[in-house]
Amino acid sequence: MIDGILTGGVYALMAAGLTLIFGVMDIINVAQGVLVVLGAYLSYALSVHFGIDLFLGLLITVPALFALGVFVQWAFLQRLGERERTAMSILATYAVAIIIEGVLGLVFGADYVQLSAWYVLRSFHVLGFYLPYIYVFGFLLAAALLGGLYLMLYRTRFGRSVRASLQDRSAARLVGIDVDRVSAITFGIGVAVTADGGMVFGATNSFNPNTGYDLISRLLTIVILGGLGSIGGALGAAVVMLVIEDVVAVVWSPLWAPFVFFAVLVVVLSLKPTGLFGHAATRAQ
Amino acid sequence: MTPRRGLVAAKLAGVAAVLAIFAVFPLVFTNPAVTTIAVFTLLFMASATAWNGFSGYTGYIALGHAAFFGTGAYVLAIVTQHLNLTAGSSLFALVPLGGLAAAVVAVPFGLVALRTRRHTFVVITIAIFFIFQLLAFNLGITAGSSGIQVPTPNWDSATFNNPFYYVSLGIVVFATLVSWGLRRSVLGLQLLAIRDDEDRARGLGVPAGRAKLVAFVLSAFPVGMAGAVYAYFLGQIFPQFAFNPLFDLSIALMSLFGGIGTLVGPLLGGLMLESLQQYFTLQFSDGDLYLVIYGALFLAVLIWLPRGVIPTVSDWWKRRSARRLGLAGQGEAGASSPSATGGEALAPVARVSNDLAVPRQQM
């Protein structure tokens, strides 16, 4: 239950990146799951080969993934035609995802690994449970980054451009916002948060190059439930879903927990196609 | 209209010739390695064609057809296991059952997923697909991750693949006929109208919900049959291979590559990409390298050939022959209108008349 809320915070961060990308660019980044795994592997490589602490390593992996995100946007996504942009973006980022998965497989092999550090191994006692420190540290970091994201979106000039592009791309362009530049940076930020998400994910779960599929389907579920493009919705949905999954795992069976996770999505969408927190029509379909 | 009749005759002759080539293929190339590739290629050609019959015509990109493939595969395996059937040609009788099961499963799947539009639809098909995969892992009847064995027939090893080949070819022909019939039917027109502008199509009286559901179920049937043949051919199935997310991606890529929304495009895409993939797998036996190549190819198609090979080549051909006839002006117009994925300038006009024609035929 508690670790449901704490993991929910980390998922919220990863989902926030996804929903931000969608809101600004109308792009569903299916590669987000694999990018989280990539972030985890980068942290793994840094800590195993260079002995760099997981949290310190973020200083390297976050900029690296930001650069990768800007590159992917510039090299592939910007070149997609306007027609059926969203559908095409799903296919294009899916292709990016399998390339990254293949590269990870070539470099690291298919064995499951897990990140390790003192705060992963040691745990403390709370309310009758033992909880590894990493959950708390990861949650705090996710909360801090989400706060930073919020400040950036609502308190800076750049954030205003992002929100303007979120509301209406062409109108934003008309008032002189360089939408392509905003898109590239947004995509970079959306991807960069996976470095942090990946580190915490890799420390709390064992992973291999295939883990991305499971992860992306969860993230998409969260984002759709929260209403596409709504950051607050993503936060709420992430915590709700992770707590539900945790409760099911304890009360019923861990085998069926992911099943309930997807079943909730199906039920919610059949009752309310725009998602739990979604507006009636965020944008014309 | 003699020239037109001549054209039809030429087309029929072409189809017959292609069919004949496919029919004698395993008799000429008897190497089992080659015919194995051929069977997989045919299964994917059929699946891509069926997928295109829904996603290509309606514009709803479904990434969950692996659920139907897996359903077909598991139905064959489970029925064989529980009835203690012995291997042999008679097991092929279960193939239509696999298709039927997939179609039945497609009804609730479609009812839920088709309530949403465009991108939400894509995501919900992925989610429902994962529900199927999780069910296959967790249910008792599917034996979880240990998989199910299907008995192997004791046919002569030299011609072992041939029955599978011809059954698969039959599924390809069936899927193509369905797709062809769909395009020529009122339902096909309704689907194209939905692709172009669903709200307007609804306004003009197209029963959009029903049309989409029927097309969705129709497209599940051949995929389920392909899955059943796949299970029998491999002799064993596991959840992660029967319900494989790469399958969803592959059939979408094949259709895009050949030309989404065209009749021949998915066939061509399946033929080229699946045979290439199987060849790569044999040649390199390195799945990861293959993933990288496949992803890169996919990106290249999306960026440089977003409309696929068939529309691009046919446009080029028409423009060329128009130029040769010296009919520059008319030639340009002729070149851009009929392509299925949408010549931007002229197509909407042509489609308005489609939209209008539909409700009239309905009454």
For residue B359, pLDDT beyond 60: no
How far apart, in whole angstroms, are the C-alpha atoms of residue B310 and residue B288?
A: 30
Write the CA distances from A214 to A13, A261, A265, B166, B241, integer angstroms.
17, 11, 15, 37, 15
Per-residue model confidence as pLDDT tens digits over B92-115: 888 899 899 999 999 988 888 888
DSSP E strand boundaries for chain A: 123-126, 129-132
Domain assignment present for B66: yes
What is A39-74 written as a DSSP string?
HHHHHHHHHHHS---HHHHHHHHHHHHHHHHHHHHH
Mean pLDDT, rounded, for A25-31 = 79
Angstroms from B304 CA to nearest CA on chain A: 9
Chain A contact present for B279, CB below 8 A: no
What is the CATH classification number for the domain harbouring B136?
Answer: 1.10.3470
- DSSP 8-class letter at A285: -
8 Å CB contact of A262 and B130? yes
Residue B23 is assigned to a structural domain of this protein: no
Contact status of A84 with chain B (Cβ, < 8 Å): yes
Give residue A277's pLDDT: 59
Which helix (H) or strand (E) segment holds residue B236: the answer is: strand B236-237
Q: Residue B360 pLDDT > 70, yes or no? A: no
Q: Write out the residue range of the structural domain in which residue B169 sits.
A: 31-362
Say whether B152 sits in a helix, a strand or coil: coil
Q: Which among A225, A253, A240, A223 has a CA at the least distance from the CA of A15?
A: A223
Is B345 touching A (CB cutoff 8 A)?
A: no
Cβ-defined contact of A273 to B290 (cutoff 8 Å):
no
> How many angstroms away from the CA of A195 is the closest CA of chain B?
22
Q: Do A228 and B252 touch (CB under 8 A)?
A: no
Over the stretch B267-289, which tens digit does the pLDDT of each residue have? Answer: 988 888 888 888 877 776 666 77
**Residue A241: is it exposed, middle or buried by C-beta count within 10 angstroms (0-12/13-18/19+)?**
buried
Search chain B and give the residue with CA nearest A88. B302
Contact A258 B117 (CB under 8 A): no
Per-residue pLDDT band for B357 (boundaries 50, 70, 90) equals: very low
pLDDT at A119 (0 to 100):
67
pLDDT-derived band at B214 (thresholds 50, 70, 90) equals very high
A277 CB near a chain B CB, below 8 Å? Answer: no
Contact A266 B124 (CB under 8 A): yes
Q: Which of A142, A264, A262 is nearest to A201 (CA)?
A: A142
B131 CB within 8 Å of a chain A CB: yes
Q: Which of these ranges, A112-116, B81-85, B128-132, B359-363, has the smallest mean pLDDT? A: B359-363
- Choice among A59-68, A177-186, A272-281, B73-82 with the minimum mean pLDDT: A272-281
Band of pLDDT at residue B218, cut at 50, 70 and 90? very high
**CA B93: distance to chain centroid?**
22
Selected residue with higher pLDDT from A168 and B179: B179
Helices within chain B (DSSP H only): 2-28, 32-51, 57-58, 66-82, 94-113, 118-138, 161-184, 186-196, 198-203, 208-234, 239-242, 245-258, 265-284, 287-304, 309-325, 328-336, 347-362
Contact call for A273 and B253, based on CB within 8 A:
no
Q: Does A101 touch chain B (CB under 8 A)?
A: yes
Going by C-beta distance under 8 Å and a sequence separation of 6 or more, which residues neighbour residue B229? B39, B43, B92, B95, B164, B167, B168, B171
Smallest Cα–Cα separation from B334: which of B347, A226, B232?
A: B347
Tens of pLDDT, residue by residue over B309-342, are 778 788 888 888 887 776 544 444 444 434 444 3
Instruction: Determine which of A94-103, A202-211, B179-188, B268-277 has the lowest per-residue pLDDT on average.
Output: A202-211
Q: What pLDDT does B227 receive?
A: 93
**CA count, 13 A, side-chain hemisphere, A234:** 24
Is the Cβ pair B123, A28 closer than 8 Å?
Answer: yes
Give the tokens for residue A51: 């002995």
Q: Which of A22, A91, A273 sits opposite B252 (nearest CB)?
A: A91
- Comparing CB atoms, the residue among A103, A213, A273 nearest residue B115 is A273
- Minimal CA separation from A97 to chain B, in Å: 8
Inter-residue contact A55 to A213 (CB < 8 Å): no
CA angle, B314 then B317 then B318, to 5°: 85
A contacts of B252 (beta carbons < 8 Å): 91
Residue holding tokens 């520059």?
Answer: B328
Cα dist. A85→A28, A81, B121, B263 in Å? Answer: 10, 6, 15, 23
Probe site for chain A from B138, B291, B307 (most A CB atoms < 10 A): B291
Q: What's the whole-number average pLDDT of chain A?
A: 77
Interatomic CA distance for residues B2 and A166, integer angstroms: 58
> If we measure between CA atoms, which residue out of B227, B188, B218 comes closest to residue B50?
B218
Examine the pLDDT at A222 and tell me if it is beyond 90: no
pLDDT bucket at A52, cuts 50 / 70 / 90: confident
By residue count, chain B amounts to 363
The CATH class of A2-271 is: mainly alpha
User: Among residues 132-151 of chain B, which lie with CB inside 8 Å of chain A?
Assistant: 134-135, 137-138
Phi/psi for B337 (5° steps) reads: -80, -50
Q: What is the pLDDT of residues A123-156, one digit of tens each?
A: 666 666 666 777 777 778 877 888 888 787 777 8
Asked whether the beta carbons of A217 and A116 are under 8 A apart, the reply is: no
Is residue B57 a contact partner of residue B195, using CB atoms and an 8 Å limit?
yes
Complex ipTM, two decimals? 0.74
B271 close to B67: Cβ distance less than 8 angstroms: no
Query: Do the chains contact at B118 and A87, CB–CB below 8 Å?
Result: yes
Nearest by CB to A221, from B127, B198, B287: name it.
B127
Contact list, A108 vs chain B (CB under 8 Å): none
Nearest residue in chain B measured CA to CA from A228? B120
pLDDT of residue A39: 86
What is the rounded average pLDDT of the residues B302-313? 77
Go through chain A and tell me how many residues it has. 285
Whether residue B121 contacts residue A220, with contact meaning beta carbons closer than 8 Å, is answered with: no
Tokens, residue B192: 């194209």
CB–CB of B115 and A102 under 8 A?
A: no
**In chain A, domain spans:** 2-271
CA A17 to centroid of chain Cα atoms: 5
Average pLDDT of chain B to the nearest whole number = 80
Chain B CB within 8 Å of residue A125 CB: no
Tell me the Ramachandran region of residue B47: left when phi exceeds 0, alpha when psi lies from -120 to 50, beta otherwise: alpha
- Distance (Å, rounded) from C-alpha B299 to C-alpha A94? 9
The CA distance from A53 to A141, in Å, is: 15
- Both tokens of residue A261? 């996770």
Q: Is residue B4 part of a domain?
A: no
* Contact call for A98 and B299, based on CB within 8 A: no
Please state the domain count of chain B.
Answer: 1
Which has more pLDDT, B251 or B116? B251
Which pLDDT score is estimated for B354? 39
Q: Which of residues 178-217 of B touch A (CB under 8 A)?
A: 198
Q: Does A178 touch chain B (CB under 8 A)?
A: no
Q: Which residue of B has its CA nearest to A263?
A: B131
Task: Assess if residue B327 is contained within a domain.
Answer: yes
Phi, then psi, of A200 in degrees rounded to 5: -65, -40
